[in-house]
Amino acid sequence: MTLSDGSKLSAALVITATGVKANTDLVEGSDINTDQGILVNRRMQTSNPDIYAAGDVAQGVDFSTGNFEVQAIQPTATDHGRIAALNMAGQGDEHHGTLNMNVLDTVGLVSCSFGLWMGVDGGESAELYNPDEFQYINLQFDGDHLVGASSVGKTQHVGVLRGLIESKIHLGEWKARLMQDPTAIMEAYVGCTQELGYA
Ligand SMILES: Cc1cc2nc3c(=O)[nH]c(=O)nc-3n(C[C@H](O)[C@H](O)[C@H](O)COP(=O)(O)OP(=O)(O)OC[C@H]3O[C@@H](n4cnc5c(N)ncnc54)[C@H](O)[C@@H]3O)c2cc1C
């Protein structure tokens, strides 16, 4: 494989990713502002308040950062559509943001990432790497909140990871336990929600 600087690398497998480019052509020359996508506010209104945008084409608010970004995944499109529809019908509220996430099945090996999987400044992380079992898990904490996660080869906790991040639940003593054993994510979820009287 030859890189753009002319250097060569030998590899058995090459994976390339191009990312996603929002098609904003339809609003070109109009009063609707664009950046990476069509800019919207928390009600999914464009710079023309009578016109809404949602889904891949919209640059909406990110749950984890509060920044406005294109998140080209189906759950975000669904969420955007719901918020836009409610606001168009006069029953809307401000959008709290969508969680960036990806779940990928690569010839049977499931990998996933949620939220701030790369971590935050001053945050802490826990990691388990078990190549013999094709398993990996990485948790990212900000204080005693789980803010991001990535994993390979473990699927049973995927919903719990999302739930813990989106609920911004205080992990309390469970954080230290997860730092020791990041696979104890289900126990942490049940423990935290029980302590709050949810379960
Ligand atoms: C190969 C592939 C795999 C994917 N896998 C996943 C996945 O595993 N999980 C996941 O969450 N997401 C996945 N996605 C992303 C997901 O498909 C999109 O995020 C989602 O479909 C976005 O919905 P949308 O309604 O915003 O856009 P779209 O589904 O693209 O719908 C937009 C519609 O608008 C129409 N349109 C465009 N321009 C005009 C115009 N000027 N006038 C009228 N109509 C117009 C288009 O024809 C299209 O029907 C994948 C995408 C691709 C391409």
All structural domains of the chain: 1-98 (3.50.50.60), 101-195 (3.30.390.30)
Higher pLDDT: 199 or 35? It is 35
Mutation choice for ligand 1 from 44, 56, 76, CB with most ligand atoms inside 8 A? 56
Q: How far is the CA of 138 from the centre of ligand 1 (A)?
A: 30
The closest residue, in CA terms, to atom 39 on ligand 1 is 26
Higher pLDDT: 197 or 44? It is 44
Nearest Cα neighbor of 95 from 32, 164, 162, 41 is: 41
Q: How far is CA 2 from the centre of its chain?
A: 32
Write out pLDDT tens, residues 121-163.
999 999 999 999 999 999 999 999 999 999 999 777 888 999 9
Integer CA distances (angstroms), 174 to 103, 180, 184, 195, in order: 25, 10, 9, 11
Largest CA distance in the chain: 61
Please state, as a whole number, how many other Cβ atoms lie within 10 Å of the Cβ of residue 2. Answer: 8
Mutation choice for ligand 1 from 25, 74, 80, 101, CB with most ligand atoms inside 8 A? 74
Per DSSP, helices labelled H in 138-184 are 158-167, 173-180
Residue 199 has pLDDT above 80, yes or no: no
| Residues forming beta bridges with residue 130, ordered by sequence position | 135
Contact 149, 178 (CB under 8 A): no
Which tokens sit at 115? 């939220």
User: What is the model's pLDDT at position 192?
Assistant: 85
Q: Mean per-residue pLDDT for 67-79?
A: 95
The residue type of 149 is A
Which tokens sit at 112? 């996933």
Can you tell me which atom of ligand 1 is nearest the CA of 73? 19
User: What is the model's pLDDT at position 197?
Assistant: 64
Give the CA count within 13 Å in the CB-facing half-sphere of 113.
8
